[in-house]
Amino acid sequence: MSEIKKLAGQTIWYGVPTIVSRFLGYLMNMALPFLFAQPAKTADITQVYAIIPFLNVLFTYGLETAYFRFSQEKERQHLYNTLSVSLFVSSILFTVILYISRFYIAEAFNLTAHPEYLSWMCGIIFFDALATLAFARLRQENRPRRYAFVRVAGIVVNLTIVFFFLGFLPGYTSRHPEGFLAMIQRLDIGIGYYLIGNLLGSIATFLLLIPEWKEVKLEFDSVLWKEIMHYSYPLIIVGLGGMVNEMLSRLVYQHLVDLPAEQAKHELGIFANVYRLSVLITIMIQAFRMAAEPFFFNQSKNEGAQKSYARVMKFFVIACCFMFLLIGLYLDVLKWIITLKSEAWGEGMYIVPILAMGNIFLGIYYNLSIWFKLTGKNLSGAYITLAGAVITIILNVLLIPRLHYLGAALATFSCYLFMMVISYILGQRYYPVPYAKKKLLSYLVLVSVIVLLHRLLLYFYSPLWFSIATGTIMLLAFGAFVAKVEKREWTNLRRVGKSISQ
């Protein structure tokens, strides 16, 4: 149980900056319907943020996971030096290539009206890449407080810039049209301040990580580097395939729907906003992964590691089920908030539960994927992700023209369901873990039925107060059910809470 306590505590600490970043990002995204009446205005920025994750995978090329893997058997400082030198040189090279190619990228993704977005994107990716290993070292050394401080500081800078230029400045300059700030306002950067804020936040994060960079010595072990590249190159395939599964629908949406350009941008803006409403699930997944990856590697040589992994999976699925209910049962509240200025932003809300459940499947897959990382079968993970990417591509091409963003949501759901199932089957063959599969499957089915039943009730009677009241009753009923079924585990969790508070 001590291992679970440690993971729970670190998940909270690593989750704090993840939750804060996602929540603040969520606030910024929630502000879009109040700043821009038409969803089409946000389409270009959506495209840029769909490109960035692909490039992040290429810029970091699996070094983070490789660092955790090889730090178990190599001298850590020597490993850190070699990987840091590699990352620094490659980041400069890749950024130069990316900057030279930015106009071609703009043409490919309908961003010719704002090529400056891609210039700012280059800076974001460069500084984020340089921060990767420093953050990995903090996680490896179990320094979650410093990790949290640096993450949150960069987020605060980002948030401050965005809300100053888009929230405060327009009103101020309307009252003081002759001041210096009015000149800045006349630049008409608009939603581009989201990228500028992101860039300055990334720079601030890098500057705060300089103490970690000062620990790097200029040494490079080519033999060690080749060994690491042999391990990590399948992770690049995994990462790129994962980005195809997550981001492809937003990249290709305008090309697949047979609509006028402005209407296509309108639907893309709506779909991107609706996708973000499943943020609670992705918060849980990212916070968990920050703590779980080093935890899994550190526990792999201990007796009874598989039982620990099974218990971790159960806690994770239960937490995700509660978050799924929070999203699904209070969907009308979310819709009411985002449509205060324009009803257009409320379109497509019905696909949020589909995306949320798909993201739960993704989180379970991340838990299951430990089998190929521990057994060195990273190519198996690459094949699973590539198969998922093929499913994503085929379903997006087939469904988006017919069902629009419902088709994109179904493609995401189907892809992650497939990846979860196939990873479980293969994992039990090569690295069996005694997961409580029947119980976990029952929880997932139950919360899905609860959300469907709630929507059915609202079909007959739909005032907002009734939606909130019935949703709350159902959420509490599920909580009471789980507490009864997991009575012994909840007792242990209360002990974890006391341990963390001390």
Integer Cα distance of 402 and 132 in angstroms: 40
What does the domain layout of the chain look like in residue ranges?
2-501
Is the alpha carbon torsion for 212, 213, 219, 221 positive or negative? Answer: positive
When pLDDT is cut at 50, 70 and 90, the band that residue 444 belongs to is very high
Cβ count near 22 (within 10 Å): 21
Q: Which residues contact 483 (CB under 8 A, 6 or more apart)?
A: 490
- pLDDT greater at residue 382 or residue 404: 404
- pLDDT greater at residue 72 or residue 150: 150
Per-residue pLDDT, averaged over 229-238, amounts to 82
pLDDT tens, 186-207? Answer: 777 888 888 999 999 999 999 9
Integer Cα distance of 313 and 417 in angstroms: 16
Take residue 305 and report the two structure tokens written for it. Answer: 């590691």
Q: Residue 111 in 3-state DSSP?
A: coil
Q: What is the DSSP letter of 179?
A: S
pLDDT tens, 389-412? Answer: 999 999 999 999 999 989 999 999
* Predicted confidence (pLDDT) at residue 14 exceeds the cutoff of 60: no
∠ at Cα 368 (367, 370), nearest 5°? 80
When pLDDT is cut at 50, 70 and 90, the band that residue 32 belongs to is low
Scanning the structure block, which residue is given the tokens 């690491």?
228
Take residue 497 and report the two structure tokens written for it. Answer: 């809470």
Q: Where are the alpha helices (DSSP H) in 36-101?
A: 43-60, 63-70, 76-100
433: left (phi over 0), alpha (psi -120 to 50) or beta: beta
Q: What integer pLDDT is reported at residue 499 of this predicted model?
A: 44
* Residues present in the chain in total: 502
Residue type for position 61? Y
Integer Cα distance of 259 and 267 in angstroms: 10
Per-residue pLDDT, averaged over 80-107, amounts to 93
Q: What integer pLDDT is reported at residue 500 of this predicted model?
A: 38
* Predicted confidence (pLDDT) at residue 155 exceeds the cutoff of 70: yes
> Within 13 A of 487's CA, how many CA atoms are on the CB side?
2
Take residue 221 and report the two structure tokens written for it. Answer: 């072990």
Could you give phi then psi for residue 432, rounded to 5 degrees?
A: -65, 130
DSSP states of 15-42: HHHHHHHHHHHHHHHHHHHHH-SSGGGG
* Predicted confidence (pLDDT) at residue 167 exceeds the cutoff of 90: no
Rounded to a whole number, what is the distance in angstroms from the first to the last CA of the chain?
Answer: 17
When pLDDT is cut at 50, 70 and 90, the band that residue 339 belongs to is confident
> Within 13 A of 497's CA, how many CA atoms are on the CB side?
6
Take residue 450 and report the two structure tokens written for it. Answer: 């609860």
Q: Using alpha carbons, select from 328, 315, 430 the residue that is nearest to residue 379.
A: 430
b/e code 360-382 from CB counts within 10 Å (16+ = b): bbbbbbbbbbbbbbbeebbebbb
Per-residue pLDDT, averaged over 154-167, amounts to 85
Q: In the chain, what percentage of residues exceed pLDDT 90? A: 33
For 146, 148, 150, the CA distances from 135, given in Å and listed in that order, are 9, 10, 9
Q: Using alpha carbons, select from 68, 72, 69, 496 the residue that is nearest to residue 311.
A: 496
* Predicted confidence (pLDDT) at residue 442 exceeds the cutoff of 80: yes
Q: Best-predicted range by mean pLDDT among 307-321, 340-354, 393-407?
A: 393-407
* Predicted confidence (pLDDT) at residue 18 exceeds the cutoff of 60: no
Q: What integer pLDDT is reported at residue 465 of this predicted model?
A: 93
Integer Cα distance of 468 and 179 in angstroms: 47
Per-residue pLDDT, averaged over 137-143, amounts to 81
Integer Cα distance of 35 and 29 in angstroms: 10
